[in-house]
Every structure is written in structure tokens, then in C-alpha cells.
Structure 1
Amino acid sequence: MEKKITGYTTVDISQWHRKEHFEAFQSVAQCTYNQTVQLDITAFL
């Protein structure tokens, strides 16, 4: 069964009017992921 993602639009970069902006940002931006969680460290103290 194929799962479809809704709410997204595929963009043809070669035809996109903001192509130059995207490429400039893409060349300097690093892909990162951050996550914050609460962690009880009482047992370690």
C-alpha cells in the first residue's frame, strides 16, 4: 500500500522563480536536526 503525504507540493527547481535564492541558501546552509527533552538525572547525583 502506497502512503501519500498530503500538504506538500513538488517544486521543479529548474522552473522556480526563486531558484537563485534557493541555490544560494543551499550552498551555505548545513542540514541539522535538534531535539530537546527533559531528563531526570536525580539518580546520578
Structure 2
Amino acid sequence: MNLSNETVKILRDAGWYEGRKIDIKEIEENLEKLGYTIFPEVKSF
């Protein structure tokens, strides 16, 4: 992943860290019910 230093700082300030994994299944289901498409690139991020 090639992120700028500014992007990494913003993500870290928001609680992100490299290797972080969370279950997003419930969020995906809710968004899909609202008609949104979750692209594979988003899921893998």
C-alpha cells in the first residue's frame, strides 16, 4: 500500500494501524440494504 505520510497520520489519529482487521459484515449488509455496492478493494482495505 502506498499512502502519503499525511494520509497515514490521519488514519493513525483515527485509530488505524497496519495489520488492523475488523469484521465489517454487519456494516456491509446495512449498506447493501440501502442500495450501496461494496467493491472488493474497499473490503480488502
For normalisation by structure 2, the TM-score amounts to 0.27
Bigger relative CO (Cα 8 Å, ≥ 6 apart): 2
Relative to total residues, which structure has the larger helix share, 1 or 2? 2
- Bigger radius of gyration: 1
